[in-house]
């Protein structure tokens, strides 16, 4: 089947088989979160530029940023065939498309005092402008499931250890050969001091199948806690945060390569879900 015009670079419609697999996989991962006490939430699909700016997003990732404008109706010509809107047709951009699902979690908790051991799980559609796009492996718009920990330093470290074990076990169950690698994260890479610190104590680890990162473990220390004024209720200090993130279309890519069809891959994920003690999938609803 030839790609439809809507499937431009970085944007793809998921076939029915891929759609079912994405939902099954996400149900498993969300269940890991909620089964560990995470509260499931749905976050706003756009975030204010001013809020993302407080998180240094536009300093660290300006080349990846996508921002949202309304149209300047005084410039709007009815009946025109629009290929694009030039700058003078746009009003200033007040909203940004998120590049990671967890940003909204920190911003949502801005100014709050939280108990240690707070976890939240979200599925977000995330957006990154890239130099090149590559099928389901590198998209402009993609799904990211995250399980986010907020609390003491120890808790946020334990959170990552717990999910590292599960990721490894899931890859085993699915017959995926996974490699763990330290990665750099430009959130902490700007000053010489921080760059040095990061080499001594990496803040991001990725799990790769061949050369494709399908999941990551991220330590933020108290960066988001400080920027968003989120405190640990017992101490009044800024919370530490960490998150485990899954790029769902990338899982689809490696699973379809491993199993040869969406149906076989979906069956494998359903079996793994049962083995992980998850509930049976909802079955007929989306098949």
Please list every residue from 134 through 193 that binds a copy of itself, using CB under 8 A.
140-141
Question: Exposed, middle or buried by CB within 10 Å (0-12, 13-18, 19+), for 81?
Answer: exposed
Asked whether position 127 contacts a copy of itself by CB under 8 A, the answer is yes
Rounded CA separation 79/82 (Å): 9
Told to check if 271 binds a copy of itself by CB under 8 A, we report: no
Residue with tokens 């717990």: 162
Q: Which of 37, 85, 181, 275 binds a copy of itself (CB under 8 A)?
A: 85
108 is an interface residue for a copy of itself by CB under 8 A: yes
Q: Does 27 bind a copy of itself (CB under 8 A)?
A: yes
By CB under 8 A, is residue 73 in contact with a copy of itself?
Answer: yes
The span from the CA of 117 to the CA of 280, in Å, is 28
Indicate which single residue of 191, 192, 236, 284 sits in contact with a copy of itself (rule: CB under 8 A). 284
- Closer residue to a copy of itself, CB minimum distance, 117 or 278: 278
Based on CB atoms, which residue is closest to a copy of itself, 192 or 211?
192
Among the listed residues 211, 207, 217, 218, the one whose alpha carbon sits nearest the alpha carbon of residue 180: 207
Q: What is the DSSP letter of 108?
A: H
Looking at the Cβ atoms of 53 and 201, the one nearer to a copy of itself is: 53
Q: Does 19 bind a copy of itself (CB under 8 A)?
A: yes
Nearer to a copy of itself, 44 or 260 (CB): 44
Q: Is residue 275 at the binding interface for a copy of itself, with CB under 8 A as the rule?
A: no
Residue 16 to residues 262, 266, 278, Cα–Cα distance (Å):
9, 12, 23
Please identify, using beta-carbon distances, which residue of 124 and 208 lies nearer to a copy of itself: 124
Nearer to a copy of itself, 202 or 229 (CB): 229
Residues forming beta bridges with residue 243, ordered by sequence position:
148, 218
65 binds a copy of itself (CB under 8 A): yes
Instruction: State in angstroms the smallest separation of the CB of 4 from a copy of itself.
Output: 4
Alpha carbon distance 49, 54 (integer Å): 9
CA of residue 69 relative to chain centroid, distance: 23
145: tokens are 């499931």
């Amino acid at each position: 089947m030839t790609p439809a015009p809507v499937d431009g670079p970085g944007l793809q419609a998921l076939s029915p088989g891929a759609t079912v697999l994405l939902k099954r996989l996400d149900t498993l991962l969300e269940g890991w979160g909620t089964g560990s006490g995470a509260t499931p939430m749905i976050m706003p699909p756009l975030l204010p530029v001013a809020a993302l700016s407080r998180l240094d997003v536009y300093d660290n990732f300006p080349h990846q940023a996508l921002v949202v404008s309304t149209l300047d109706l005084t410039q709007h010509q009815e009946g025109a065939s629009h290929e694009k809107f030039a700058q003078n047709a746009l009003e200033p951009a007040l909203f940004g498309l998120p590049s990671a699902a967890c940003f909204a979690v920190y911003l949502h908790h801005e100014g709050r005092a939280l108990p240690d051991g707070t976890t939240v799980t979200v599925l977000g559609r995330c957006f990154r402008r890239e130099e090149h796009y590559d099928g389901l492996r590198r998209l402009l718009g993609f799904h990211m499931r995250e399980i986010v920990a907020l609390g003491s330093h120890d808790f946020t470290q334990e959170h990552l250890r717990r999910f590292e074990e599960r990721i490894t076990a899931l890859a085993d169950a699915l017959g995926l050969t996974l490699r763990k690698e330290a990665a750099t994260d430009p959130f902490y890479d700007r000053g010489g001091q921080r760059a040095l610190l990061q080499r001594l104590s990496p803040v991001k680890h990725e799990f790769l199948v061949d050369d494709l990162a399908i999941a990551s473990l991220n330590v933020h220390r108290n960066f988001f806690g400080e920027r968003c004024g989120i405190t640990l209720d017992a101490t009044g200090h800024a919370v530490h945060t960490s998150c485990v993130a899954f790029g769902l279309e990338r899982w689809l890519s490696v699973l379809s390569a491993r199993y040869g069809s969406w149906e076989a891959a979906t069956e494998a994920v359903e079996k793994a879900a049962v083995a992980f003690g998850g509930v049976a999938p909802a079955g007929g609803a989306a098949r």
